[in-house]
Structure 1
Amino acid sequence: MYLNCHTYYSLRYGAFSEIELLELAQQNQVTQLALTDINNTSAGLNFVRKAREYNIKPILGIDFRNGVNPCFIGIAKDNEGYQELNAYLSEHLHEEKPIPDRAPRFRKAYVIYPFETVMLTEQSEFSEHEFIGVSIADLRRLPFSRLIAYKDRLVVRQPVTFRNRRDFNAHRLLRAIDNNVLLSKLPQEEVGNEEEKMFPVANLAAAYSQYPFILENTEQLMQSCSIHFDFSKQRKPQNLKSYNSTTEEDEQMIERLCYQGMPYRYKNPDQTIHDRLKKELELIKEKGFVSYFLINWDIAREARRRGFYYVGRGSGANSIVAYLLRITDVDPIELDLYFERFINLFRANPPDFDIDFSWRDRDAITQYIFERFEHVALLGTYVTFKERGIIRELGKVFGLPKSEIDFLCEGHYSASDLDEVSSLVLKYGRLIRNMPNYLSIHAGGILISERPLHYFSSTHLPPKGFPTTQFDMVIAEDVGLYKFDILGQRGLAKIKETLHILSYNKPVEFAKVDIHDIRTFKKDPNINNLIKTAQCMGCFYVESPAMRMLLKKLQVDNYLGLVAASSIIRPGVAKSGMMREYILRHRNEGRAEKEAHPVMLDIMPDTYGVMVYQEDVIKVAHYFADLTLGEADVLRRGMSGKFRSREEFQKVKDKFISNCRKKGYEDKLIFEIWNQVASFAGYAFAKGHSASYAVESYQSLFLRAYYPLEYMVAVLNNGGGFYRSEFYVHEARMLGAGIHAPCINKSEAANCIYGTDIYLGFMYLKELESRVMERILSARQKEGPFSSLEDFLDRVSVSAEQLSILIRIDAFRFTGINKHRLLWQAHLLISKDLLPDHPKLFPPERNNFKIPKLYTTDLETAFTQLELLGFCLRSPFDLLATPPVNKNGCHSLPEYLDRYIDIYGYLVTVKNTNTHSGKRMHFATLVDQFGEVFDTVLFPPVAAKYHFRGRGIYRFYGKVVSEFGFLSIEVLKMQKQDYIPDPRYAEMKTATRRLPERGRNIKKSNAEAGPA
C-alpha cells in the first residue's frame, strides 16, 4: 500500500537506507512497497536485491520534483517501465530542464499525481495510466473536493520519509545544508511533513476504510507491477555480449588476433606457451568473456593509433591472451603468473583490466569509447558525510564562526571545554554520518552494456560531460555489469613529454629511442644500478622515501626484484609484519627453509614462503587450507574490500580454519597464516599488476639514466610526483642543469630546456594572470623576441601590478638593466589613465627619464624568488642567520655509524604515523648542505618534545643507525634554524649586506649546490 517511499538517496532529504526501509516494512507487516526516491535511482538495484530476504515484493519508481515541489510519481509496471522512467529523468538531469506538471504518456509506467497538486492545477482529465494519490492527511478534504468523483483514479499515497523524531531532525539538518542557511532561517516550505511515516498495514487499511475503492485501486496497481534483476550466482554478464555481430565471430576473432600477435611477443614460442594460450581461450569462451577482451583490445589499439602511451594492469595482466592482444606488456610465462588468479571456472566476474593513460590523453580515449560503443556510461559513486565535512556543514548551519569550526575540525579539544553550540554540532553530526551527500564519479570505471544503461538506473551529467550512472561498482557487479577501468596518471605523461622534448632538444638520439624495448631495459646495468642505489627521484612508483628505503634494504638490482618490491611496499605485507621477514629471508640464505612452513615455501618459493601478491591468497587457500578455487576466489574478493556478502565470506573463513585443523596444523600456525591473509584486505596487488608498474618504472628509469634533464623537465611539467616542485628543480641542478628564473624571451608557460639550461615556466609565478602569459607568448610568436622594456609595453597590454611581478623576478634581465631601475621606468611609462586591455593603434612616444643609480643584492633576489616562486634558486643554507658550524652531510653517515652526529638538513617531506600503542612518531627526509638526501626518525618520546614547523632548515643531533644497510639518524634533539631578516624590509645596513663568497656564485658545482 506504500507507493511513495524515500531513502537517504533522496539526497539531502531522506534519512535512512534502503535496507532500513525494508526492515521498517517488515516490522509493519508490509509485503509489497514501492521505492520512489526524489529524482534519484541509486538505491533501486540493491532494494530489489535485498527485498527477497525480507519477503517483500519490490516495486520501483521515481518521485519527480522540482527542488522540494512535487510534480508526480512514476511507478514502473516492469523493467521496461523502469527504463522509461530512468530515461525521462536522465533527460531532465542532463539538460537541467525543470520537470513539467503533467507527465508524458509512459507506455509501461503509472503516474500518480499528489492530491494537492491536482487541486491546484484543476486537472480534470486522466489517462488510463494516471492516478491521484491521497494521503492520510488528505482524507479529511477528500469528501468536499471535486476529486471524489474520480473513484477509479484514486490510490493510497502515504509518503514514507521518516521513522521517528530523530529522522526528522536529521532531515531538517540536511535541508539546511542543502539550502546553505542557518537552521533557524530554514524556510518551512523546504521541510517535509513530519507525519510522512509508515504504519502497520492494518492501521493503514483502517484509515481508508470509508473509501474501500481507494484500497482496491492501490492493490490492483501494485499487483500489476513486477520488477526483476538477476542477482544469482549463475547470473549472466550484462556487458556487451558480442563485439562483432555474433559470439561465433568474436571467438574466431580473438583466436586469430592471438596468433597474429605471437611473433611480436615470442620469437620461438614453445609448447608451454601454446598450451597456456589454448587453456585460456577455452575458459574465456566458456565463461562468455570474449567480448570483454576484444573491447579492451579495441581501446588499446586505438591508443596506439593515436600515439597514446598506456599501461594495462590488474588481474588481467596475468593473462597470455591480454599479452598477445597488447592490452598489457606483462609476460605471464616469464613471470610465472598464477593462472587461477586471472580466471577459473568458479569466477563469475571477468578479470580486472586497469588501463592507465596519461592524464592528458585520458579524456580523449574516454570520448572515443562513448563514440565507438552504443550503451556507455561512467560508473557513479557516492560522496558521504564524514567527520570533518559534517563539522564544517553543521558548523555553518548552527552559526559557528570559521575559527571555531576550524578548531573543531582539528580535533584537539576536550568535550568539557566546548560551549553549547559546538556540542550540538558534534551531537547532531552523528545523525547524518555516512549518509550520501552527493553523487560523484568512480575513479576510472566505464560500463559498456548490452542493454541501454537506463534499464538499470538513471544517469546524471557531472562536469566532465559524460553520462554517469547513479549506482556504484559494487551493485554493478552484483547485477552483472563489469566495468572497464580507464585511469589517468602523470607517470605516462612524463614519459611521453620527455620523448617530445628529446625530439627537438636531441633529435639524433631521439631517433634511436624505443621506449617499449623493456627486454633491453631489464638487462641494462645503468638502470639496475639506479634501482640498487635508490637514485629514483621523479620515477614512477619508486621515488618515495619508503620505496627508496626498501630498495636499499633489499639491494634490488633486477626486474623481478622490483616487481616484488612494488607489492611488498603495500600496507598489507607491512601490516602483517612480513615485510621485515621477507627482507630477512632475502638477505640471509637458509632462513626461509628454517622459518617458513614447508607448504608455504612450496607454494611461494620465489617470495620465500611469504604472501606478497594477491594471488598468494588463492594459492594459500587452495593448497594450504584445501579450499576449492571457487571458495578461494570468495576469499580473494573478500580481501579486496569490495565484496558484498559478508556472510559468505565468514563461511569461507570458518572452512579455512576447519580444514587446516583437519590437516593437523596447530592453531598457532593456522591463525598466524590467517592473520597474514586478513592483513591483505584492500591492499594487495596481483603479481601482474606489480609487474605492470615495474615496466613503467623501468621506462622512467631508462629516461632518467640517459636523458635526466629532459626527464626532470617533463616531471616538473606534469605536476611533479611525491615531492614539491623545488626538489625536482634541485635534482635537475644536481644532474648538471643550469636553472634560470622565468625570462620574457626564453620561458614558456611550462618549463623548457635549451641544451642543459632549464628555464622555469611562467606557471610558477603564482600571481601572474594566465591571460598575461598568453599575451606574452602570442606576441613573441608573432613578432619575435622583445628587445627592451619599451618594446614589451608596445606589444603587450599589461597592468602595472602584473608587469611588476615580471620585473621583480628579473624576467627582463636580458636588457642588462637593474630591476629596480626597470621598476621606476615601468612606473613612469605606464599611463594610469590607460586601461591595460586598451588596444594601441600606434606605439606611444617615450620620454627619457633620469633615474638614480640603483642596485640589487643577491640576498634580495633570493627572497624575491622565495616570495614569487615559492622557492629560491640557490641553496637555502645561504639564507641562514647563523651559518652551519660543521660540514657534516649524508657522506658523513658511514663514519658516524653507531655514533652521534650533529647535522643540518633542509626539510623535504615528513611522514607522521602512529605506533601500535597510538603514540605519534615522525619519519623525515631532508637535503644536506651539499644537496644529498638523508633520512631521520623521531620516536615517540622525541616526537612529543620536538615538532616540525613547516619548510626550512633544521639542526639535528642523533645516532646514526643501520637497518639492513640503510643508514638513518635516530634524532634526540632538533631545532629549526632562523633565516636572516628579509633584506627588502630590514634596515638599510642589513639590506646592503652581501652574501659570503660561497653563496654569490650562481653557477655552483654540483657538490656545493643545495636544493633550489
Structure 2
Amino acid sequence: MYLNTHTYYSLRYGTLKPEELLQIASQQGVKSMALTDINSTSANLDFVRLAPKYSIKPVLGVDFRNGVQQKFILLASCNKSLLLINNYLSEFLHSEKKVIPDTAKHLINTYVIYPFQSKVFNLKPHEFIGVKPSDVNRLKFSKWQLQLNKLVILQPVSFQNKKAFNAHRLLRAIDNNTLLSKLLKTEQGEETDSMLPVETLKSLYSEYPQIIENTRRLLDSCNITFDFSNNAPKNKKTYSNNATLDFKLLKKIAYEGLNYRYKKIGERIFSRLEKELEIIKQKQFVSYFLINWRILKYARSKQYYYVGRGSGANSIVAYLLRITDVDPIELDLYFERFINLYRTNPPDFDLDFSWRDRDDIMNFVFKNFKNTSLIAVYNTFKYKASVREIGKVFGLPKEEIDKLSSGYFEVKNLDNLSRLVLVYSKMIKGFPNYLGIHPGGILISEKPIHYYTATYLPPKGFSTAMFDMVVAEDIGLYKFDILSQRGLGKIRETVDIVKYNHPTHSTIDIHDIKRFKKDEKIKYLLKNAKAIGCFYVESPAMRMLLKKLQVDNYLGLVAASSVIRPGVAKSGMMREYILRYRNPERRKEAHPILLKIMPETYGVMVYQEDVIKVAHYFGGLSLGEADMLRRGMSGKFRSRDEFMKVRNQFFENCKNKGHSLELTSEIWRQIESFAGYAFAKGHSASYAVESYQSLFLKAYYPLEYLVATLNNFGGFYRPEYYIHDARMNGGIVHPPTINKSQYQNHIEGNNIYLGFIMLESFEVKNASKIVKERQQNGLFLDLDNFIDRVPISLQQLSILIKVNAFQFTGRNKRELLWEAYMKVNKVVLEETVATLFKSEKITYKTPELSCSNFEDAFDEIQYLGFPLCSPFKLLRVPIHQKVMAKDLLNYIGKMVTVYGYYVTAKRTGTSKGDLMYFGTFVDSNGDHIDTVHFPLAAKKYPFKGRGVYKLTGKVSAEFDCVNIEIEKMEKLAIIEDPRYAEATKKITV
C-alpha cells in the first residue's frame, strides 16, 4: 500500500536507513512497497538486495521534486522502464538550470502519480492521482470522486516517530541554512509521514475500496529484478565485440611481452603464463585486462608516467601487458591472491598517474568506451560537524558551539538546548550529507549505467553514478581505478629539470629498476633513512622503521611498505617482525605451521595474501571461503552474514585440527586487525618500484628533485621543510626575484629561485605578466623600468618589494617602497600604454631609510609562510646548545635538554583512549630529533605551532632509533617584529 517511501538518501530530508525502512515495513505487515527517494536512486540496489530478507517485494521509482515541492512520482513496472526513469532523472541532474515540470514526460511502461493538489486533470492510462489520508475528506467534494479508477493511496514515509521527525526538521533547517524557529512549513514534511500498519492504513480509505484495489493492482504490476546471487562481472564483456578475438589478442600481447620483460624464458614462466591465461578466460576477465592495457597504451603514447598497483601486480599477464612493473616470478607472488576459480571479482588494478595527466586519461576513457561513469562516495555527517550544524540551527552562540564540538564539557553542566544538540548530533551521525566522487573509480558497463542507477554531473563534468563501489560490486560492476598522485608528477618533472640543468648528462632511464636495486647510493639513503621527499619512505614513521630494519634492498623495502600499514602495527606484529628480522633466534618462536607458510616474513602476517594462506593452510578454509575472507578484510562487508560464517568456520576447522582456542583466537585477532589496511605483496612491490625511482633521483639529483617536489605541492611535509632539505644538500635558496623567478620554483646550477606561486596573496595574473614581459623584452633594469612595463597595483608591487624581489637593484627595500607609493597608480591599467617617446619620471628625493635582516625574515614569514634564514636566529634569547641530535646516542637513559625547530607531530591514542603524540624536530645543525609525548606530558605541555622548542626528557633507544621521552616542553619566544617595533615604542612613550 506504500507508493512513496524515502530513505536517508533523500538527502537532508529522510531519516531511515534502507534496511531500517524494510524492518519497519515488515513489522507493519507490508508485503510489497515502492522506494521513491527524492531525486535520488542511491538506495535502490541495496533496497532490492535486502528486500527478500524481509519477505517484501521491492518496487522502484523516483519522487521528482523542485526542492521539497513534489511534482510527481514515477514508478517502474520493469527493469526497462527503470532505465527510462533513470535516464529522465539524469537529464535534470546533469543540468543545474533545468526545473522539473508540472507534468511528467511519457515513458513506456512507467506509472505516474501526481499529488492530489496538482493541476493535472486529463490523465493518460498510466497516470494516477495520489490521495493522502488528509485528502480523503476533500475527495468527497472533488471532481475526482467521479474518477475513482484514477486514484491510489499516497501515504509518504520519511521517518518513523516524533524524534525522527524532529531530526528531519533539523536536516531541513541545515539544508536551508536557517534557524529551526524560522524554518517554513513548506520546507518540511508532515509529522504524519510515517509508516502505519497496513490494516490501519486501509481503514483510512474504507469508504473507497476501489482506491485500495487500484493501489494493490499497481504494486502487483511492477516487477524489478537484479540477480545478487550471481555477481559475475557486469563490466563490458568484450573489448573487440568478439570474445574469441579478445582472447587471441590478450594471448598475442602477453607472448610479445616476454622478450621485453625477460632475458631468459624458462618453463616456470611459460607454465605460469598459460595457467593465468586459462583462468582469466574462464572467469571472463579478458576484456578487463584489455581495457586496462588500452588505457596504458594511450598513456605511453603520450609519454605519461604511471604505476600499476593492486592485487593485479601478482599477475604475470599484467606484467607482460605493462599494466604493472612488478615481476611476480622474481618476487614469488602468490597467484591465488591475484585470482582463483572461486574469485568472482576481477583483480584490482590501481593505475596511478601524475595529477597533471589524469584528467586527459579520464577524457580518453569516457570518449573511447560506452556506458561509462564515475562512482560516488557518500559524504556523511560526522559527529563534530553535526554538533556545529545543529548548534547553529538551534541558535546557540559560537562560544557554546565551540565548547560542544571540542568535547571539553561535563554533560551534567549543560542546559537542555545543548543536550538536545548532542542527542540529535549522535542521531544524524553517519547520515549521507551529499554525494561526492570516488577518488578514481570508473565503471565501464556492458549495459547502460542507467539500467542500474541515475547519474549526476559534478563540477569535473564526468557523469557519476549515484551509488558507491560496494553497491556496484554487489551487482557485479567492478571499477577501474584511474588515480593521481604527486609522486609521479615529481618524478616526471625532475627528469625534465635535469635535462636543462645538466644538458651534458645522458638521458635518464627512470624505468631501469634492476640497476637501481644494485645502486650503492640508493642503499645508503635507505639504510640511513635520508629519503626526505621520496615516495612513501619520507614520513617520520617510515624513516624510523627503515632505521630499525636497516633496510638496504628491494625485498626489504617491499616488506617495510606493508609492515608500516596500520593493520600490521595494530596487531602488534610490526614489532614482532622487527624482532625476528634482527634476531634469528627469535624466529624459532614462530608457530611451525605459520613459519612454513610465511618463511620470508618469519611466520608473521605482513601481506594480504598471508592472511589467505593462513586461512587456507592453518584454518582449513577453502579458497572460496578464503576469498570471502579477503573481501571481508576490506571492512566493506564486516557486517555481512557471510563474513561471520567464515569466522565461525575458521574456529570450527581449527578446533578439528587440534589448535588450541587460545592460539586460534590470537591468529584470528591478527587477521581481524588487517581489515581495510593490509597491502597485497604486489601492491607493496609496486610502491617500492616508485620509491626506488624517487630514491635514484634524490641520490643523484637532489636539488632538482626537491624543486620538483615543491612544484608538485610537496609530500608529507610543509614546503619549508623541503627548502631546508635543499639547503642541507648544498642548495642556495633565493626569494622570488623578478629577473630570475618563474611562476613555479626554478633552479640554475645549485641556485634555487622560489617561484611566484610561493607568495601568499600574490595574483597568478601578475606572475604571468612578469614572466611574459621578461621573456619578450628582456630583464628589468630597475623599479622605474618595471613600473613602466608591468601594470600592477601598489599592494601587489609592495609584496614583491617586501620579499626582496628587487634585491638586484642594490637598493634598500624601504626606499623602494617609498618610491613605489609615490609613483604607482592607485587604479591599475590592464595594459601598459605604448608611447613613441618615454616621458621622464619625476624624481623624488628618497629619504634615508634603514632595513634589517630581521625585517626581511618577518616579511618572509608573512608572504612565504616561513623565514629563509635559520629560525634559531630569531630567538629573543640566543641559545647555547650543548647536546645536539648527533650526540643523543651518548645519553641513553639520561635526562637531556635540547632545542629543536618543530617539523611535524603525529597524534595517536593509547589503549585507554588517551591522546599522545610523536614529534619531529630539527636542531640548529638541521638533524632530526624524534620525541615521544605520553598522555600526561602531552596534556601539560601541548604543541603551540611552529617555532623553536626547549625539549627536556629522557633519552631512549630501540633498534638503533633514538627518542626523547618528553617530560617538559617550552616554546621559546622570538624577537619583536622590527617592522612594528618603532610604532610600538612611540605608542608606549
- Taking structure 2 as the reference length, what is the TM-score of the superposition? 0.98
Across the aligned residues of Structure 1 and Structure 2, the Cα RMSD in angstroms comes to 1.6
Return the alpha-carbon distance in structure 1 between the equivalents of residues 171 and 895 of structure 2: 58
What are the within-5 Å matches in structure 2 for residues 526-565 of structure 1? Answer: 526-565=521-560
1:767-802 deviation line (CA, Å, top 9, x unaligned): 212222222222223222211111111121211111
Distance 1:822 1:455, change over 3 A: same
| CA deviation after TM superposition for structure 1 residue 961, in Å | 2.1
What are the within-5 Å matches in structure 2 for residues 181-580 of structure 1? Answer: 181-232=178-229, 234-509=230-505, 511-580=506-575
Residue equivalent to 1:712: 706
What are the within-5 Å matches in structure 2 for residues 632-671 of structure 1? Answer: 632-643=626-637, 646-671=640-665
The amino acid that maps onto 2:976 is P
Return the alpha-carbon distance in structure 1 between the equivalents of residues 633 and 663 of structure 2: 20
User: Which secondary structure does the structure 2 equivalent of 1:590 belong to?
Assistant: helix
Return the alpha-carbon distance in structure 1 between the equivalents of residues 882 and 638 of structure 2: 59
User: Which secondary structure does the structure 2 equivalent of 1:110 belong to?
Assistant: strand
Residue equivalent to 1:925: 920
Matched, 1:951 2:921: no
Matched, 1:940 2:935: yes
User: Which secondary structure does the structure 2 equivalent of 1:346 belong to?
Assistant: coil
User: Which secondary structure does the structure 1 equivalent of 2:584 belong to?
Assistant: coil
Return the alpha-carbon distance in structure 2 between the equivalents of residues 767 and 105 of structure 1: 54
User: Which secondary structure does the structure 2 equivalent of 1:487 belong to?
Assistant: strand
Residue equivalent to 2:34: 34
Return the alpha-carbon distance in structure 2 between the equivalents of residues 553 and 644 of structure 1: 34
Alignment gaps of 5+ in structure 1 = 992-1012
Matched, 1:701 2:695: yes
Identity over aligned residues, as a percent?
58
2:977 pairs, out of 966, 982, 990, with 982
User: Which secondary structure does the structure 1 equivalent of 2:898 belong to?
Assistant: strand
Return the alpha-carbon distance in structure 1 between the equivalents of residues 476 and 983 of structure 2: 75
Residue equivalent to 2:158: 161
Return the alpha-carbon distance in structure 1 between the equivalents of residues 897 and 304 of structure 2: 50
Distance 1:236 1:886, change over 3 A: closer
Residue equivalent to 1:793: 787
Return the alpha-carbon distance in structure 1 between the equivalents of residues 217 and 6 of structure 2: 22
Residue equivalent to 1:1008: none
The amino acid that maps onto 2:356 is R
Return the alpha-carbon distance in structure 2 between the equivalents of residues 367 and 644 of structure 1: 35
| CA deviation after TM superposition for structure 1 residue 314, in Å | 0.7
The amino acid that maps onto 1:652 is V
1:295-316 deviation line (CA, Å, top 9, x unaligned): 1111111111111111111111
Residue equivalent to 1:54: 54
Residue equivalent to 1:16: 16
The amino acid that maps onto 2:66 is N
Return the alpha-carbon distance in structure 1 between the equivalents of residues 763 and 959 of structure 2: 50
- Taking structure 1 as the reference length, what is the TM-score of the superposition? 0.95
What are the within-5 Å matches in structure 2 for residues 736-751 of structure 1? Answer: 736-751=730-745
The amino acid that maps onto 1:675 is R
Contact 2:789 / 2:832 at 8 angstroms: preserved in 1?
no
Residue equivalent to 1:812: 806
Distance 1:644 1:106, change over 3 A: farther
Return the alpha-carbon distance in structure 2 between the equivalents of residues 572 and 456 of structure 1: 34
Return the alpha-carbon distance in structure 1 between the equivalents of residues 261 and 427 of structure 2: 58
**Greater mean deviation of Cα atoms: 683-692 or 633-642:** 633-642
The amino acid that maps onto 1:840 is V
1:422-447 deviation line (CA, Å, top 9, x unaligned): 22211222332211111111121110
User: Which secondary structure does the structure 1 equivalent of 2:328 belong to?
Assistant: coil
**Greater mean deviation of Cα atoms: 424-433 or 130-139:** 424-433
Residue equivalent to 2:172: 175
| CA deviation after TM superposition for structure 1 residue 285, in Å | 0.6
The amino acid that maps onto 1:147 is W
1:65-84 deviation line (CA, Å, top 9, x unaligned): 11111111100010011010
Residue equivalent to 2:73: 73
User: Which secondary structure does the structure 2 equivalent of 1:828 belong to?
Assistant: helix
Contact 2:736 / 2:756 at 8 angstroms: preserved in 1?
yes
User: Which secondary structure does the structure 2 equivalent of 1:87 belong to?
Assistant: helix
Return the alpha-carbon distance in structure 2 between the equivalents of residues 249 and 271 of structure 1: 26
Residue equivalent to 1:128: 125
What are the within-5 Å matches in structure 2 for residues 87-102 of structure 1? Answer: 87-96=87-96, 97-102=98-103
The amino acid that maps onto 1:515 is I
Distance 1:980 1:37, change over 3 A: same
What are the within-5 Å matches in structure 2 for residues 581-620 of structure 1? Answer: 581-592=576-587, 594-620=588-614
Residue equivalent to 1:1005: none
Return the alpha-carbon distance in structure 1 between the equivalents of residues 913 and 295 of structure 2: 47
Return the alpha-carbon distance in structure 2 between the equivalents of residues 26 and 615 of structure 1: 41
1:956-997 deviation line (CA, Å, top 9, x unaligned): 233322211112222333222111212222249999xxxxxx
Contact 2:232 / 2:345 at 8 angstroms: preserved in 1?
no
| CA deviation after TM superposition for structure 1 residue 505, in Å | 1.3
| CA deviation after TM superposition for structure 1 residue 918, in Å | 2.6
The amino acid that maps onto 2:222 is C
Matched, 1:840 2:807: no
Contact 1:983 / 1:990 at 8 angstroms: preserved in 2?
no
| CA deviation after TM superposition for structure 1 residue 660, in Å | 1.1
| CA deviation after TM superposition for structure 1 residue 20, in Å | 1.3
Contact 1:474 / 1:644 at 8 angstroms: preserved in 2?
no
Matched, 1:906 2:907: no
Return the alpha-carbon distance in structure 1 between the equivalents of residues 189 and 912 of structure 2: 47
Return the alpha-carbon distance in structure 2 between the equivalents of residues 990 and 137 of structure 1: 76
Return the alpha-carbon distance in structure 2 between the equivalents of residues 160 and 421 of structure 1: 28
Return the alpha-carbon distance in structure 1 between the equivalents of residues 480 and 83 of structure 2: 23
| CA deviation after TM superposition for structure 1 residue 844, in Å | 5.1
Contact 2:794 / 2:825 at 8 angstroms: preserved in 1?
no
The amino acid that maps onto 2:154 is R
| CA deviation after TM superposition for structure 1 residue 616, in Å | 0.6
| CA deviation after TM superposition for structure 1 residue 938, in Å | 2.3
The amino acid that maps onto 1:127 is K
Residue equivalent to 1:861: 856
Distance 1:389 1:939, change over 3 A: closer
User: Which secondary structure does the structure 2 equivalent of 1:334 belong to?
Assistant: helix
